[in-house]
Amino acid sequence: MKKLIIALLLLAMLLLAFACGVISDDVDEQDQIIIGVPTYNIADAQVKMFKDYLDTYIRGCFDGVTFIYSESITNSSELMDFLELCAGQGAEGIMAFISYDLAAEVDFCAQNSMYYIRPAGTTTDAEFASVADNPYYVGEIGPGAAVEYDSGVKMTEALADPEAGHKYIVLSGGACIGNEMHRLRTLAILETLEKIYGVTFDEPAEALAVADETTVVQAGDLQVAVCPGYVWRSPADAAVAALIDSNEYDVMLATIPVTVLLSDLSDAGIRCGAIDCFSEENYYAFKDGTLSYLAGKYSSEIGPGFAALYNAITGNAALYRPDGHAFRLEQGFWTAASFDEYEEKYALAASLAVNAYDYDDLYSVVKALRPEADFADFAALVQAYDYDSCRARRGE
């Protein structure tokens, strides 16, 4: 597999040099565009996947674009420091993969003439409303509340089996610190387990979902350990390790990446489902049976978000403001419930040679490149994120 990946990367470089070089003749030379990219974990497989797409594919197709990446941001203060650094380096846009105080972040960006977009995230209605009228907030692309919740339901339904086991570890990630994506996924997992087992926990699922310390609850035969935090940081790493080492648990249901746990889960014989991304690490975890279900993002899924930000920076921000407000568009996950299904989708999810969202797709919604582009075109492209639609765009 590694030889195949290397071969695909080499092929990608050749195709990029040809395809992007041909079309770039249509684009006027312009000043350098600097875009800041705050991340929750620069070493995370999903972040690395997005970074490869931006640095290798997007920069190869859009002349003069440079990205500045943060290290792993763990709190609001660190995020604001990074935004200040971006402003000091002349950034004109921010593609945020982490947010702690959206209103404060957007306000700072507006004061420094930096456009801000969330290209792969879900916020609460209140958070979105607080910034929707700010002309420097371009918008939000992400699963949205209904899809986030449904992803937790479907993952739980795929792995929960009262005949096979009754003890579950639930990784709630940042739900306890206001991460709406993780809260909705965790709530869905807990409520679906209650439904499948025909029980109700003494503590409401809404409260368990945002618990700020490891909480073990039991109802009938069902036992659930809800573990908050990020497993690549302390203290969540130690708390989850203790649960795995206890040899009590049958299944892990994770709202976050579990890459750092895969070896331990395999040794303990714990089946796992995760909401993460179509990464190489997850490919091998599916292959060896450690991972049994995935709802995940793919590398080029952030392409439309880049196009919207590029449009704003190049003087066409109004194109993406229906009724004068920032946009909010749904873009959900691909799923895999078997290795064969994962392998089939992985080829398109990870390739830099043939992308789910390629230059032609993005070109079609950038007004500087296609003057007749409009918001309807953009919205249709964003929402055609499912695997079959992406295959159809590539002529498969």
**Average pLDDT of the chain, as a whole number:** 92
How far is residue 46's CA from residue 152's CA, in Å, rounded to a whole number?
19
Q: Left if phi > 0, otherwise alpha if psi is -120 to 50, otherwise beta: which for 323?
A: left
State whether 12 and 104 are in the same domain.
yes
Report which of 373, 320, 330 is spatially closest to residue 132, judged by C-alpha positions.
Answer: 320
- Report the predicted TM-score, pTM, of the whole model to 2 decimal places: 0.91
Most distant CA pair in the chain: distance in Å? Answer: 67
Given a cut of 80, is residue 161 above it in pLDDT? yes
In a domain, 122, yes or no: yes
pLDDT of 183-195, one tens digit each?
Answer: 999 999 999 999 9
For residue 81, the model assigns a pLDDT of 99
Per-residue pLDDT, 27: 41
Q: Which residue has the higher pLDDT, 185 or 1?
A: 185
Which helix (H) or strand (E) segment holds residue 287: the answer is helix 280-287
234 and 307 share one domain: no
The long-range contacts involving 81-85, CB below 8 angstroms and separated by at least 24 positions, are: 82/36, 82/38, 83/36, 83/38, 83/108, 83/109, 83/112, 83/114, 84/108, 85/36
Q: What does the pLDDT average to over 367-382?
A: 96
Kindly report the backbone phi and psi dihedral angles of residue 328, in degrees, each rounded to the nearest multiple of 5, phi listed first: -145, 105
The reply to whether 188 falls in a domain is yes
pLDDT at 74 over 60: yes
Is 68 contained in some domain? yes
Inform me whether the pLDDT recorded for 7 exceeds 70. no
> In this structure, is residue 342 part of a structural domain?
no
Is residue 265 a part of any domain in this protein? yes
| Per-residue pLDDT reduced to its tens digit, 146-155 | 999 999 999 9
Tell me how far CA of residue 128 lies from CA of 54, 165, 180, 202, 322, in angstroms: 26, 40, 12, 33, 15
Please give the residue range of the domain that contains residue 179. 146-297
Q: What is the pLDDT of residue 23?
A: 40
pLDDT reading at 156 higher than 90: yes
Q: Are residues 268 and 326 in the same domain?
A: no
CA angle, residues 308, 313, 314, in degrees to nearest 5:
100
**DSSP secondary structure code for residue 360 in this structure:** H
Give the model's pLDDT for residue 352. 79
Residue 35: inside a domain: yes
Q: 3-class SS at 219? A: strand
Residue 9 has pLDDT above 80, yes or no: no
Looking at the structure, tell me whether residues 371 and 240 fall in a common domain: no
User: Could you tell me the two tokens for 115?
Assistant: 């456009």
Split at pLDDT 50, 70, 90, the class of 353 is confident
Average confidence (pLDDT) over 278-294: 96
Say whether both 230 and 370 belong to one domain. no
Q: Distance (Å, rounded) from C-alpha 127 to C-alpha 130?
A: 5
One domain, residues 262 and 372: no
- How many structural domains does the chain have? 2
pLDDT at 5 over 80: no
Residues 30 and 14 in one domain: yes
Q: What strands, in cross-sheet order, belong to the sheet with 327-330?
A: 65-72, 33-39, 93-95, 115-118, 137-142, 327-330
- Residues near 264 by beta carbon (within 8 Å), at least 6 away in sequence: 241, 244, 245
Query: Which CATH number do you get for residue 199?
Result: 3.40.50.2300
Confidence of residue 20 (pLDDT cuts 50, 70, 90): low
Scored b (16 or more CB within 10 A) or e, 320-359 reads bbeeebbbbbbbbbbbbbebebbeebbebbbbbbbbbbbb
pLDDT surpassing 50 at residue 219: yes
pLDDT single digits (tens) 82-95: 999 999 999 999 99
Residue 324 lies in a domain: yes
* Separation CA 60–CA 391 (nearest Å): 22
The residues that bridge with 216 in the sheet, in sequence order, are: 225
Q: Are 227 and 243 in contact (CB under 8 A)?
A: yes
One domain, residues 188 and 83: no
Residue 236's pLDDT band (cuts 50, 70, 90): confident
Comparing 30 with 59, the larger pLDDT belongs to: 59
Q: Give the per-residue pLDDT at 8.
A: 43
φ, ψ of residue 394 to 5 degrees: the values are -90, 5
**Measured in Å, how far apart are the chain's first and last C-alpha atoms?**
23
Q: Tell me: pLDDT of 257 over 70.
A: yes
CB 43 within 8 A of CB 9: no
Query: How does residue 165 score in pLDDT terms, banded at 50, 70 and 90?
Result: confident
pLDDT tier, 30 (very low <50, low <70, confident <90, very high otherwise) = low
* Alpha carbons 328 and 147: distance in angstroms, whole number: 14
Instruction: Report the pLDDT averaged over residues 243-258.
Output: 97
228 and 308 together in one domain: no
Q: Are residues 12 and 129 in the same domain?
A: yes
Query: Does residue 117 sit in the same domain as residue 58?
Result: yes
Domain identity same for 166 and 306: no
CB-based contact 48:259 (threshold 8 Å): no
Q: How many CB atoms lie within 10 A of CB 106?
A: 27
For 118, the token pair is 């969330």
In a domain? residue 96: yes
